[in-house]
Structures are given as structure tokens and as C-alpha cells.
Amino acid sequence: MSSADRFEYIKVSLAERVFTVTIARAEVRNALHPPACAELGAALDAFERRDDAAVAVITGDGDKAFSAGFDLRWAEAHPDTYQDPLVGSEIVRRKTIGKPVIAAVNGLAFGLGFELALACDLIVAAPHATFGLPEARVGLAAMAGGVVRLTQHIGPKRALAFVLTGDPISAEAGLAAGFVNEIATDGVIACARRWALAIAECAPLSLIASKEMAYRYGELPDMQAALDPRSYPSVMSVLGSEDAVEGRRAFIERRRPNWKGC
């Protein structure tokens, strides 16, 4: 990685087209404060721009916490923080990142940490991982998209049971509810990389188009519009792409395709 990719609160690496971002604040269980969130945003911007990066994996340093949430001790030293409802939510409020992003949850994912995981496309979790939105227990609310996304994933009744009580959710319960894709028995990073490498074999434009359909169909006026490929600009761009031609040729010739992302 170049010097421009060096950060204070996160670590980044790139291998086999998998861009890994590690929250590196283990001393506070990888709690997030505005400077760390800004670095996460910068890293994901870099990921979007890099032609050599197909999939991102976000995880936390160590094996105790993905992220324990917003850094309340930091906020107490910076009281103006509480006046801004958007503070710390730069990443999770992004409507979508074009390329696929996987959360490798290696421990606690509470509050803003859980919201960050929910903002990713897939979640793989260590067996001891625990999720929760405990903001109501400290006089706050999950303002960074967690309530909305959790409700979308598991429905309002089940989501509110966790949100209104602040009760933690085990990895097993998350898998049963549907917001965890896999419990990693072979190590959470190894599991995330296995998913990432499988995704990276696919055409980049096809991945972007698939994400757009999955996330945007509910914004369209009716089911007819949702089922019409012309409703999705990225889907239409796939049709005339070089990769679409290459994919067909590779299938016929029984070889691996050479994607160009165009």
C-alpha cells in the first residue's frame, strides 16, 4: 500500500483483490470516534476507486471486539459531539457502496459497531460474537441506521424486541434471524476471505448491478417497475459491456474469464 493509505485508527491491506480494513483501537474495544469514522470513510473511498480491489472486508483488531460502538469516553471529553445527530455516522449512512463489503465480526458489535456491520452486504461472525443496540440503556438512540436496517432484515417485532430492551444478540440468534450469513468455524477472517474470493471471481459490473437491484427495488413505484431492468442504470450498463462479451466467450471456451470492469 502507498503512504496515502496509512492511517492512525485503522489498518488497511490488499491481497488477491480483497481490501481489508481493520479498526485498530483495541485499547477501547475498537470503539469508534469521529476521527476513526473519517478514516473508515477515506479507506472505503479508496477501495471504490481501486481497480485492483474487488471486495472489502471490515473487521476489528484482536478477538474481543469488532467495535463496541461509539466512543462515549471520547465524547465526554468533547461534549459538543452530542449536539450533532450525524456524528460518527459517515459510513453507515451511505446509501450503498458500489462494490461488495463483508463485515467479519470477531467479537462485540454493539451500537455504532453493529450499525456498521449492518451497513455491510454480508456478515460473518465468530462463534463468540455478540450484537446489540443498547443505546436506550444510556439515554441515547441508535441514530446511524441500525434500527432501520435491523428492521429491514428481521421485521419490526423482532427488531424492536432487541432495540427497546437493549438486549444482546448471540451469533447463533443472528444466524437464525437472518442478518448473519455464516458463523465462522475456521476463523472469522478466513471465513470472510473465502466469501470475498468467491465474490471476486464474478464480473465487477455484474456485482454492482446486482447490489443496485437488491437495494433499490423498494424505491420504485410498483412491482412492474422493480422487475424492469431499465429501472436500474447499472444493470443496463452490463448489457453492452466488454465483460458481458468476455463472460459468454469464457463460458463457451471453458476457461476463466478475464474481467476488465468495463
pLDDT of 151-193, one tens digit each? 999 999 999 999 999 999 999 999 999 999 999 998 999 999 9
Q: Does the CA dihedral 110-97-93-80 come out positive or negative? A: positive
**Residue 153 contacts by C-beta under 8 Å, 6 or more apart in sequence?**
118, 159, 177, 178, 179
State the virtual CA torsion across 214, 218, 224, 226 in degrees, nearest 10: -30
Determine phi and psi for 124, rounding to 5 degrees: -115, 145
Cα 128 to Cα 105, 106, 107, 184: the distances in Å are 9, 8, 6, 10
Q: Which residues of the chain have pLDDT under 50?
A: 1-4
Q: Nearest CA to 191 among 87, 96, 104, 257?
A: 104
Establish how many alpha carbons lie within 13 A of residue 134's alpha carbon, considering only the half-sphere containing its beta carbon: 16
Amino acid at 228: D
Task: Output the pLDDT for position 4.
Answer: 46
Task: Output the pLDDT for position 1.
Answer: 46
Catalytic residue among 8, 76, 135, 219: 135
Residue 107 CB-density burial (10 A; 0-12 exposed, 13-18 middle, 19+ buried): buried
Residues 190-224 have pLDDT tens digits of: 999 999 999 999 999 999 999 999 989 989 999 99
Task: Output the pLDDT for position 130.
Answer: 97
Active site annotation includes 135: yes
Task: Output the pLDDT for position 144.
Answer: 85
**Domain extents for the chain?**
3-200, 204-253
Task: Output the pLDDT for position 88.
Answer: 67
> CB pairs under 8 A, 24+ apart, for 244-247?
244/203, 244/205, 247/203, 247/206
Task: Output the pLDDT for position 92.
Answer: 73
Q: Are the beta carbons of 105 and 117 closer than 8 angstroms?
A: yes
3-200 is a CATH 3.30.450.20 domain? no
**Residue 67 contacts by C-beta under 8 Å, 6 or more apart in sequence?**
23, 29, 30, 31, 32, 60, 108, 109, 110, 112, 113, 116
Element (H, E) at 226: helix 223-226
Distance from C-alpha of 102 to C-alpha of 111, rounded to nearest angstrom: 18
| 65-67, strands of its sheet edge to edge | 65-67, 108-110, 130-132, 169-170
The reported pTM is 0.93
Q: Are the beta carbons of 32 and 89 closer than 8 angstroms?
A: no
Active site annotation includes 242: no
Q: Is 156 helix (H, G, I), strand (E, B) or coil?
A: helix
Task: Output the pLDDT for position 79.
Answer: 83
Q: Are the beta carbons of 10 and 21 closer than 8 angstroms?
A: yes
Catalytic residue among 8, 90, 115, 219: 115
Output DSSP code: residue 111: T
Residue 36 CB-density burial (10 A; 0-12 exposed, 13-18 middle, 19+ buried): buried
